Amino acid sequence: MIHIRMARRLDAPGIARVHATTWKEAYRGLLDGAYLDSLSEKRLAVRWRTHLDRRKEDRDEEIIVAMKGRELVGFANASASREAFAPWEAEIPMIYVLKEHRGGGIGRGLMKAAADHCIRRGMFSGGLWVLRDNGAARDFYEALGGEPQGRKADSVGGQIVQLVGYWWRDIAQLAERKVQPMTPGRR
């Protein structure tokens, strides 16, 4: 059974493991291999512990984890939009689920929890940026009703990448949405 809850400081190593593992799985061939290979769970755990401590200062941000028993299998974070020009108030900058746990509704549950948090904080539209060439993630966001909204370039690991924005004009739809299973190979 999957349990979705707000992250605790002690979750930092589990979040770091999911972060490093999913990046290496999802972005192999899209980002520089040496950069992906350099991702260290130890360094990420320190970063996430610091981030979780700082979260108390930013009440608009929340980190949400998905637990299967005692194993952390996915996480998401939600905050106020980090960009003044984006059409959305809230942003979901990260959502990752371990490959072997995908397809069972964990990602949808994390997105719903992120949307619920945003609504409680008075943010009623939401969005995110995704690598343009990450077809699986783009299919997921579109299945959740995300509308493509803008493009931009950014630097990840010293590499310039193209991003596509997705937004939900009314994030309450995301929080309450019942999603049909995705059709494989749409992209």
Tokens matching residue 55: 């979260």
Give pLDDT, residue 56: 67
Which helix H or strand E contains 24, and what residues bound it? Answer: helix 12-26
Considering the domain 2-127 in this protein, what is its CATH number? 3.40.630.30
Round to whole Å and give the CA distance between 62 and 111: 12
The total of other beta-carbon atoms located within 10 Å of residue 39's CB is: 16
Give pLDDT, residue 86: 85
Crossing angle of the two packed helices 12-26 and 41-54, in degrees rounded to 10: 120
Give pLDDT, residue 187: 39
Backbone angles phi, psi at 155, to 5 degrees: -110, 130
Convert the pLDDT of each residue in 70-92 to its tens digit: 999 999 999 999 888 888 999 99
Distances (CA, A) of 134 to 41, 64, 137: 23, 22, 6
Convert the pLDDT of each residue in 120-165 to its tens digit: 999 999 999 999 999 999 999 999 999 999 999 999 999 999 999 9
Answer with the residue of higher pLDDT: 56 or 184.
56
Convert the pLDDT of each residue in 34-66 to its tens digit: 999 999 999 999 999 999 988 766 678 899 999
Convert the pLDDT of each residue in 87-113 to its tens digit: 899 999 999 999 999 999 999 999 999
In this structure, are residues 113 and 76 in contact, taking their beta carbons and an 8 Å threshold? yes
Residue % of the chain over a pLDDT of 70? 93
**pLDDT for residue 184 is more than 90:** no
Give pLDDT, residue 179: 44
Give pLDDT, residue 181: 46
Give pLDDT, residue 108: 94
Give pLDDT, residue 139: 96
**pLDDT for residue 12 is more than 90:** yes
The reported pTM is 0.90
Tokens matching residue 110: 């994390």
